[in-house]
């Protein structure tokens, strides 16, 4: 039986038990019959499915949310039954909190399903330049503290110029793995940054996406956020700098895209006075009408568990106070990342037709063209024939998947929610571009140059009229587009909402209704949703012969 933590702060629940979601209340399990045991197993599998493979059980709590509690003997009986249920459901569990109820102890239990692949969440790090994002990733993923001069950041830098300039300018992903007991797997490896070993030995993986903080790299940062479909985000702010630079802009990206986020205040070892002022500023920003979050300062392990339980609601914004030099607050952040459940329901997308937006491409010696990207829906297997495109002439080509890697592990297939690299046969490296798509051959390929979108102008210094040009981001695809017409009005200004017809200026793209777009130009920022696409006629779209 897992170790029980010491009694902590008051256990809070969100009112009566809900039929949906990954939280279950149990007052007492007793000695269930075989029939009752089967129902409990079915119920646990349902809660795990609702939480993407993770669930929380509140033992000693009535269906109405009353903290009744259990006596010592009852606790032993309940946990023995719970262990049987978890094993039958193919899950492992541990007690994360134990507090006093009206008549005894109330236990909060975290349950995680044993899957062939580790449970995964994707968490990008946003925030102003020099706030300590890369150092935080380096410390979390290696277990070694920073020296105060950016040494931790050099361990996860992607390019030499990033080390020389001490500034991230690209998108890089790093895995933080957890075993069944919540301990980090990286610390147990000779090479803590070995993605394949971290992935294979972990029950839960947090994919940390390190992004650029400088304003000049905003397009790269947007590509990193949109291309990875995050579960949550960490918005990092340095205590000695405060909420300056791109902090508010990056926080705004989370808000407009609907990504639940936590705030990490770094460098708390420098000056307690600055920490207090920065914390006050962060809380004030989080309470602004456009953000409307409930600040929740995490300063105990119990707070970290509570933050993980409620982060997916999008109502709270946990605030962590951390130091990459002393290690203060990092254990709470690790607990949070370990327990935060997957927010996106990838299982529902697995049976849909394959769709991948190309995030990056490589020319590998002896292999040829390799592309990477997140599977937004469907699954793909080695030797499968798929479409790639659209190319500048609005065509798609049939290519064959030669090999697939997920987190640097060679696999036979990949599924929705996973970030894969695939070697392609039947197309040249120079012909494929970032932002193209890989499609199932069951999908009718289409090339879109013009589309209708409902947009919201977040900021523009003057007025937007037909003919206005900006850069449009859709997942990993970005290119200039022109507003052809504004329906029902002549102009748009800051704060306005309207429906526009936009046309790409360079090449077609694969778009469909319901996609979120972000457009920007200088200081102008806006967000929208595609409501109609106008693809070229089917006759204009062709595929090449299948590769041999």
Q: Tell me: the pLDDT tens digits for 246-274?
A: 899 899 899 989 999 999 999 999 888 88
- SS3 (DSSP) at 398: strand
Residues 189 and 89 grouped into a single domain: no
Residues 54 and 193 grouped into a single domain: no
CATH assignment at residue 96: 3.30.110
Whole-angstrom distance, CA of residue 165 vs CA of residue 150: 11
Strand 497-504, strand 448-459: pairing? antiparallel
- Tell whether 14 is covered by a domain: no
Could you give the number of structural domains in the chain? 4
The conformation of residue 350, written as its DSSP 8-state character, comes to T
Res. 406: pLDDT tops 50: yes
Residues 223 and 131 grouped into a single domain: yes
Residues 371 and 461 grouped into a single domain: no
Q: Which of 113, 130, 162 is the last residue of a domain?
A: 113
Q: Which of 327, 344, 361 is the last residue of a domain?
A: 344
Residues 388 and 488 grouped into a single domain: no
Q: Which of 113, 137, 156 is the last residue of a domain?
A: 113
Residues 311 and 221 grouped into a single domain: yes
Q: Tell me: the pLDDT tens digits for 415-447?
A: 998 999 999 999 999 999 999 999 999 988 889
- Tell whether 7 is covered by a domain: no
- Tell whether 547 is covered by a domain: no
Edge to edge, the sheet with strand 316-321 lists 172-178, 204-210, 119-127, 233-238, 261-266, 316-321, 294-298
Q: Which two tokens stand for residue 174?
A: 């790093």
| pLDDT of amino acid 14 | 60
Q: Tell me: the pLDDT tens digits for 92-125?
A: 999 998 988 888 999 999 999 887 778 899 999 9
Identify whether the C-beta of residue 311 lies closer than 8 Å to the C-beta of residue 82: no
| pLDDT of amino acid 316 | 93
| pLDDT of amino acid 9 | 43
Residues 267 and 125 grouped into a single domain: yes
List C-alpha distances in Å: 511 to 310, 451, 531: 33, 8, 10
Q: Which helix (H) or strand (E) holds 410?
A: strand 409-411
- Tell whether 546 is covered by a domain: no
Residues 271 and 400 grouped into a single domain: no
% of the chain with per-residue pLDDT over 90: 65
Q: Which two tokens stand for residue 18?
A: 């809900």
Whole-angstrom distance, CA of residue 482 vs CA of residue 35: 64
Average confidence score pLDDT of the chain: 89
Strand 409-411, strand 497-504: pairing? unpaired
- Tell whether 548 is covered by a domain: no
Residues 306 and 359 grouped into a single domain: no
- Tell whether 45 is covered by a domain: yes
Whole-angstrom distance, CA of residue 277 vs CA of residue 288: 17
Residues 143 and 80 grouped into a single domain: no
| pLDDT of amino acid 274 | 87
Whole-angstrom distance, CA of residue 266 vs CA of residue 133: 9
Residues 250 and 265 grouped into a single domain: yes
- Tell whether 157 is covered by a domain: yes
CATH assignment at residue 431: 2.40.30.10
- Domain limits for position 48: 23-113
Instruction: Give the dihedral of Cα atoms 434, 439, 445, 448; nearest 10 deg.
Output: -30
């Amino acid at each position: 039986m897992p170790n029980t933590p010491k009694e902590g702060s008051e256990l809070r629940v969100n009112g009566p038990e809900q039929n949906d979601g990954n939280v279950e209340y149990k007052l007492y399990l007793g000695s269930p019959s075989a029939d009752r045991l089967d129902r409990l197993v079915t119920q646990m599998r349902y809660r795990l499915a609702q939480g993407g493979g993770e669930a929380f059980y509140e033992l000693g709590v009535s269906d109405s949310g009353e903290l009744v509690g259990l006596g010592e003997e009852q606790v032993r009986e309940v946990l023995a039954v719970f262990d049987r249920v978890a094993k039958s459901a193919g899950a492992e569990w541990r007690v994360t909190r134990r507090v006093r109820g009206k008549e005894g102890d109330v236990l909060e239990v975290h349950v995680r399903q044993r899957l062939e692949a580790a449970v995964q969440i994707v968490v990008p790090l946003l925030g102003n330049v020099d706030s300590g994002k890369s150092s935080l990733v380096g410390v979390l993923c290696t277990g070694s503290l920073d020296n105060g001069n950016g040494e931790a950041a050099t361990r996860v830098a992607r390019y030499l110029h990033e080390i020389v300039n001490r500034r991230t300018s690209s998108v890089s992903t790093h895995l933080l793995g957890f075993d069944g007991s919540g301990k980090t797997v990286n610390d147990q490896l000779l090479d803590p940054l070995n993605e394949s070993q971290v992935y294979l030995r972990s029950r839960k993986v947090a994919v940390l996406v390190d992004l650029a903080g400088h304003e000049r790299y905003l397009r790269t940062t947007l590509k990193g956020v949109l291309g990875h479909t995050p579960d949550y985000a960490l918005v990092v702010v340095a205590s000695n700098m405060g909420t300056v630079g791109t902090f508010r802009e990056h926080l705004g990206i989370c808000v407009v895209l609907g990504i639940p986020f936590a705030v990490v205040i770094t460098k708390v070892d420098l000056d307690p006075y600055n920490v207090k002022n920065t914390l006050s500023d962060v809380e004030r920003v989080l309470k602004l009408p456009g953000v409307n979050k409930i600040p929740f300062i995490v300063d105990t392990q119990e707070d970290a568990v509570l933050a993980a339980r409620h982060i997916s609601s999008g109502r709270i914004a946990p605030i962590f106070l951390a130091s990459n030099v002393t290690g203060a607050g990092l254990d709470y952040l690790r607990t949070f990342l370990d327990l935060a459940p997957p927010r996106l329901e990838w299982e529902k997308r697995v049976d849909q037709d394959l769709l991948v937006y190309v995030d990056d491409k490589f020319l590998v010696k002896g292999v040829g063209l390799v592309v990477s990207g997140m599977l937004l829906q469907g699954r793909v297997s080695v030797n499968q024939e798929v479409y790639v495109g659209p190319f500048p002439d609005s065509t798609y080509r049939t290519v064959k998947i030669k090999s697939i890697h997920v987190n640097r592990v060679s696999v036979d297939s990949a599924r929705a929610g996973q970030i894969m690299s695939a070697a392609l046969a039947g197309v040249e490296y120079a012909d494929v571009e970032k932002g193209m798509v890989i499609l199932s051959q069951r999908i009718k390929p289409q090339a879109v140059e013009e589309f209708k979108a409902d947009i919201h102008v977040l900021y523009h210094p003057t007025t937007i009229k037909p003919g206005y040009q900006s850069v449009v981001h859709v997942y990993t695809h970005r290119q200039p587009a022109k507003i052809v017409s504004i329906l029902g009005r002549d102009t748009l200004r800051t704060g306005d909402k309207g429906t526009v017809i936009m046309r790409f200026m360079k090449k077609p793209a694969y778009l469909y209704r319901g996609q979120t777009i972000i457009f920007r130009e200088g200081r102008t920022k806006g967000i929208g949703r595609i409501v109609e696409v106008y693809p070229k006629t089917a006759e204009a779209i062709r595929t090449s012969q299948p590769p041999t």
